[in-house]
Amino acid sequence: MAEGEYKVNAADVNVLGCFIGGEWVVPDDAKLIEVKNPADGSTIAFVPRGNKEEIDAAVKKAQAAFSSAEWKSLQPYKRGKLLYQIAELIRNNKDEFARLETMDVGKPYAQSEMDVEIAARYFEFYAGAADKILGETIPVDAGIIDYTVREPLGIVGHIIPWNYPLQIAARSIAISIATGNAAVLKPAEDTPLTTLKLVEIIEPIGLPKGIINVITGYGHEAGAALSSHPGIHHITFTGSVETGKRVMESAAQNIVPVTLELGGKSPNIVFADCNEENAMEWVMRSIVQNAGQTCSAGSRLVIEKTIKNDFVRKLAAKMESLSIGPGVDNHDLGPVLSKKQFERIQGFIELAREDGITIVTGGKRATIKGCESGYYMQPTILDHVPQAHHLAQEEIFGPVLTVTTFETEEEAIEIANGTPYGLVAGVWTENTSSAHRVANELQCGQVFINHYGAGGGIAQPFGGYKKSGFGREKGLEAIRNYTQVKNIALKY
């Protein structure tokens, strides 16, 4: 059916509402968005196709809640206690969250279970930080006490991506509450279910109505209205570079700061002296997790020439042994999100064929009996990919690994830094001095030495260099993005 064709009075469909000012709302004349299960193409639910009217209503409710005496008088430690309660509620509903995330995104059930635990940990982490957002005293002159305080920004907008909706909604809500802000979230139209479930379990704990709001809708409608709304004081966006540019342009019209995480082309740099078994396991995991639909995916293997052939041969055998199928059955690899996403990945594979790139393994659609309408992709290795080739430069966002070799440490660094992105890198060597030298020279926001794991690093600042964006999520560093500094000088 055409985009937005559905009506709310359609019979026997599961219609979920927007959450505005503490109320579940389905506009009277709303068009609907169909939410599908990537495993088999079946319809799971319908959500409202929210637009600027719903965004405006949510922002006004958020403004009223933020300005209320009830919110302003809630001490930081009490905000922390509420966050601890939410963490407990998430764990109490673990099975339902994991089931919804798997149905919505397509990822294996075990990965969804991990996402649930990470979501709970975000609330715990920022619960502990809520009453420790401190200022400083500054020595200025005799007779003057000078100090700073960190205050909330006001109304923060969060545009949530489709690949890790529960994790990112959790960290967005947790830090918004911890820092004393009110929030308006716009989940991805493809995967809104766990965000809606999250606010459903939060609703009874006693937050002022309007502190958390969720509007479902398309990015070019609801997302654009959120990023350009004059009542928003900060925008956090995770997604593509092109959309990130539009978000930043919209925010600039209102002189509003943004935090952008815009993807990556992250390398695993493998030296000949590495622990081969450990390196190989993590190189594989970092590209097949969530079917490669991860901004921090290790999508480039940059490997020392002397060990490349044997390493790639063994890696291909490991990938070929992975099971592919519906996430609910907990296979190693689930489907990619949609036909659009599948065709994008296939476009890169076709480019490899046209340009004579060696396809070591994979490169084809996997047909799963009973799930013929699902979009399953074989894990793929592309060898002999020149550093300047489009396949080595652009984010594919699927289970596709490119291979490029190096001979010297300097060459490895040059290749690793030689893309427009700079999000994450892995370094694999038993030489500690070499590991530190390489890490110091890499142009990226996170470096993992002899392991790889940005996803669960609750306390580790996460963000990129170059076109991977700017600002940091996670950890205490993220608090800087959600507060503003006021300097006060007292003459006595």
* Active site residues per annotation: 261
Q: Show the CA angle centred on residue 59, arms to residues 58 and 62, nearest 5°.
A: 85
Q: State CA 287 to chain mean position distance.
A: 15
